[in-house]
Structure 1
């Protein structure tokens, strides 16, 4: 028997289906979610081979949290972040430990809670305009519509206004090209990634155009010292009083990296979360009708407002459950900065670790009926910080988590208040696995809701409330817990 006190990575079991030269790259490319879930029986760690390289996948919630919390040792790195750095450089989400704390201090004022109300008003207005632009009987390309919505909102919160229509369309197209290429480039050996294929040339053009767009906006803002009360103005004005090297503000390069980070994060991941939420509501009409009843009661015929967030409990639970089933960052990687022990196994510096929120979120020993959409599992139960990790954890937890949640809840409310959503066809819709769990190709049919009565009550009465499922075994139910259970900052 192996002595776990002195075990090495070689003692960690190797996942099945490894091929010569390719390792596990083929099953990861063919059906990555099925392959990842096939590893759920490994309760601690399992080894993966990606070409000639070996990575250790962490399957245990406690060990995953240990990795997240100790970013001094388990640093951002590995194939995922190598590909993302190609586009956004050393922004807050990709930079190494050595750069992170300073960047976090400089970016934190942009996401202070006092600014969320202003951002929320932008989100609500953008969602209302988008929902009002549709017509009864429309069949929506849901992801494209949500991308347009979140792009408009992100542009206004970042740059005090939307880009010209042509520039916005180009930014959308470039973002789609970049995001769809990430995962395949991550699985492709370095030599093949350098080949000048049509796909690579298309990817390079999109990356360069998007960078040029952001750099142009930054140059214009640098030339205009006016405080525009937006996210970019806050980044430009931010001062790090703790700086030890005299660099108290973001350089032009750093500013461009942060702007690209927040642009892509604020647009793409929130759009995908909204698209999945609408899909889940369309395929679970009882929940949709209950949510419509909530919006009718809260909005009372008016428009969504950030002040109403505490009353939108079901909308918040729908978003929480959507992020459990379809976490945008379904897989993450880390690189060891030095030799370290994890779960009784000695790992060498430079080793790559793989973490999967998707795997943890769908483990049957952590969640009852883990594949079922059940927002009521969060009724009175706060998400556990070890088993529910759509935004990561610790010092590297997504700085914009409340930004994204506020946008998603308000946008979802604006849409379901006006529209009934139904699936197109009867075939189950499956995610397109890229760096995120993409919903590209999702289509839903709209039917206009008829509302009436002085109180704005909707046509659909609230469906009988289902019996809440037992919360995660790791969750804690707190008496008097906040109505909105998505505020789970570290």
Structure 2
């Protein structure tokens, strides 16, 4: 991505989100038409007040303010309705833990995500993508969203558990994550617990998915304790547990912490990358110039449809641009919350302790001041010399600061390998002639993208 440019300090504006009945309408608008609602907020100000049920919240609409907020994690900590709900799912893992615990947790997990491991992981990614391609047949209608979920489940399973998920367990993961992701978003924008204690079919599906996911992790942990050590993330966590006695020392972990980290990494590793890949193929299908440029590169870089290894990643420059532009247009992580740990000031406005702060990568990525023609899918904007420097805080697919995604390099490598491997063998065409709009839930992406696969002759 291009380098960041620093914006001069200017007077900030503070406004209020429009709505006739703000305590009700903001939550309803965010739930029913979230992307349109987000895009309407910048004209109200750089910092916009709104209500989510009984709670007041502030949406940051300016990238410079978002950058400032993310660089002060001790003041703007993980919290708010989103992390209240995620905590019930993930426990106290690296995504949901407070800032005071983050450094310790990152030190424990970092060996499993060190850049030196990416070459070996790249091989696994290519093998999973190649297996997916072999299962398709010319003219077949493919559930692309489901296929990408299967692909990322396989890759994440190999990273976390050395491939301990058989077909039955992988199906449990995919089905459980789909139910959880649907339920998390409504629980974020409607922070009224009583609504979700009603035994409706949707609430029962959500709770059942949680139970199945946690039971699966417990079963895998029990099996691995009785097996020889393996060089994967679970092996790293178990070694930290076994080498720490009863939990003493700076990197000591408990069984519950291992469980929480695995659930966290499974959810983030499978769902977000799958949504990015499904979005990429949907966008390529309706942008033929970008699609042709991608095919030219993979045909030149991967002769004979060869699966890319780590040495090919640097040569797949346009493929990386396709992934980056997909993350700009349709960022899987599209809405986040923070909470203030003390009274502070942001954008010239005084915020009390415990204030809920929201920011949206989707909103920032579609700001025409940062990205000319923001609605157009233009991968070439990320080529050297293809775009002006990006404003600080304007491009945030993996967050920023010390709470940035621990697996950002791994996710990019996985997406580039998957796109290149599939594009070298297949052309995907949408059944209806268009890819359809993204559907926001806990993540953003196409929920049921069906496409027809046509074999390619490089």
TM norm structure 2: 0.92
- 1:327 has 2:331 as partner: yes
* 1:258 aligned residue: 261
Q: Per the alignment, do residues 143 and 162 of structure 1 end up closer, same or farther by CA in structure 2, a change over 3 Å counting?
A: farther
Q: Is the 8 A contact 1:237 1:249 kept in 2?
A: no
Q: CA deviation at 1:164?
A: 1.9
Q: Is the 8 A contact 1:140 1:444 kept in 2?
A: yes
- 1:169 has 2:176 as partner: no
How far apart, CA to CA, are the structure 2 residues paired with 1:21 and 1:289?
48
Q: Which portions of structure 1, spanning 4 or more consecutive aligned residues, are displaced by more than 6 angstroms?
A: none
- Tell me whether 42-51 or 387-396 shows the greater mean CA deviation: 42-51
* Counterpart among 389, 412, 427 of residue 419 in structure 2: 412
How far apart, CA to CA, are the structure 2 residues paired with 1:185 and 1:235?
31
Q: Deviations over 1:436-479 (max 9, x none)?
A: 113111111111112xxxxxxx2xxxxxxxxxxxxxxxxxxxxx
Secondary structure, counterpart of 1:445 in structure 2: strand
Q: Is the 8 A contact 1:48 1:57 kept in 2?
A: yes
* 1:113 aligned residue: 115
Q: CA deviation at 1:25?
A: 1.0
- 1:318 has 2:322 as partner: yes
Q: CA deviation at 1:76?
A: 0.4
* Counterpart among 397, 401, 404 of residue 408 in structure 2: 401
> Gaps (5+ residues) in structure 1?
1-6, 451-457, 459-490
Q: Deviations over 1:355-380 (max 9, x none)?
A: 01101100111111000000010111
Q: Is the 8 A contact 2:278 2:445 kept in 1?
A: no
Q: CA deviation at 1:20?
A: 5.6
- 1:442 has 2:449 as partner: yes
* 2:440 aligned residue: 433
Q: Is the 8 A contact 2:16 2:44 kept in 1?
A: no
* 1:74 aligned residue: 76
* 2:206 aligned residue: 203
* 1:103 aligned residue: 105
How far apart, CA to CA, are the structure 1 residues paired with 2:45 and 2:111?
40
Q: Is the 8 A contact 1:110 1:235 kept in 2?
A: no
Q: Is the 8 A contact 1:142 1:275 kept in 2?
A: yes
Q: CA deviation at 1:120?
A: 1.1
How far apart, CA to CA, are the structure 2 residues paired with 1:112 and 1:248?
17
* 2:86 aligned residue: 84
* 2:56 aligned residue: 54
Q: CA deviation at 1:255?
A: 0.5
> Gaps (5+ residues) in structure 2?
1-10
* Counterpart among 351, 357, 370 of residue 366 in structure 1: 370
Secondary structure, counterpart of 2:15 in structure 1: coil
Alignment of 1:461-480 (within 5 A): none
Q: Is the 8 A contact 1:107 1:238 kept in 2?
A: no
Secondary structure, counterpart of 1:75 in structure 2: strand
- 1:249 has 2:252 as partner: yes
The structure, 1 or 2, with the larger RCO (C-alpha pairs under 8 Å, 6+ apart) is 2
* 1:473 aligned residue: none
How far apart, CA to CA, are the structure 2 residues paired with 1:285 and 1:50?
41
* 2:7 aligned residue: none
Secondary structure, counterpart of 2:42 in structure 1: coil
Give the superposed CA RMSD. 2.0
How far apart, CA to CA, are the structure 2 residues paired with 1:87 and 1:383?
35
TM norm structure 1: 0.86
- Tell me whether 96-105 or 230-239 shows the greater mean CA deviation: 230-239
Q: CA deviation at 1:162?
A: 4.4
